[in-house]
Amino acid sequence: MKGNLTFIHSNFACLPIAITRLQKQGIPLSEGIAIIQDISSKFSQLTGTAGIDINKKLQTVLNKNKGFRIVCNISKILTGEEENVGDLDIPEDLTSSDMAYFKFAPITSADVERSFSLYKNILAPNRRSFKFENLKKSLIVQCNNYFRDAVNDDDEDRN
């Protein structure tokens, strides 16, 4: 048991840090993909039966995830690593202006879950009425709070 805990601690202590970094709001797509690729490269260096099995599982999950491959290719275009879109596996209906919107696309569902929880009060089924003007004001307040919190988080990270 002690050997297993040592193996886990020495090889997987990077995971909580990576997960926290991935859950941070507003990180560029290229940074999120770099975090995943960093973990993948660390896992490829694992030895032993358990380490090899874990690395195989990660590689299988990443290889089967067509969406991840697509956002990796979009990230290559956004960072200038790849110029020829025709050589990459990207949906044909995705225009270059559409791809520009992916610059800060989250690769985890944490941002999506946060947005659902933010809007659950607005979209509650027991709400009797909500005039458009009030909806607009409510969204402005929420956006201002979001940006204020983001600035405060950045200030804390610098200190």
From the centroid of its chain, how far is CA 44?
21
Of these ranges, 18-22, 33-37, 93-97, the one predicted with the greatest mean pLDDT is 33-37
Q: Is the pTM of this model over 0.75?
A: no
pLDDT at 16 over 80: yes
State the average pLDDT over residues 103-121: 74
Position 154 scores a pLDDT of: 59
State the average pLDDT over residues 22-33: 89
pLDDT in tens, 120-130: 767 777 666 77
pLDDT in tens, 38-89: 999 999 999 989 999 999 999 999 999 998 999 999 999 899 887 777 777 7
Position 29 scores a pLDDT of: 92
pLDDT in tens, 138-150: 777 877 776 677 6
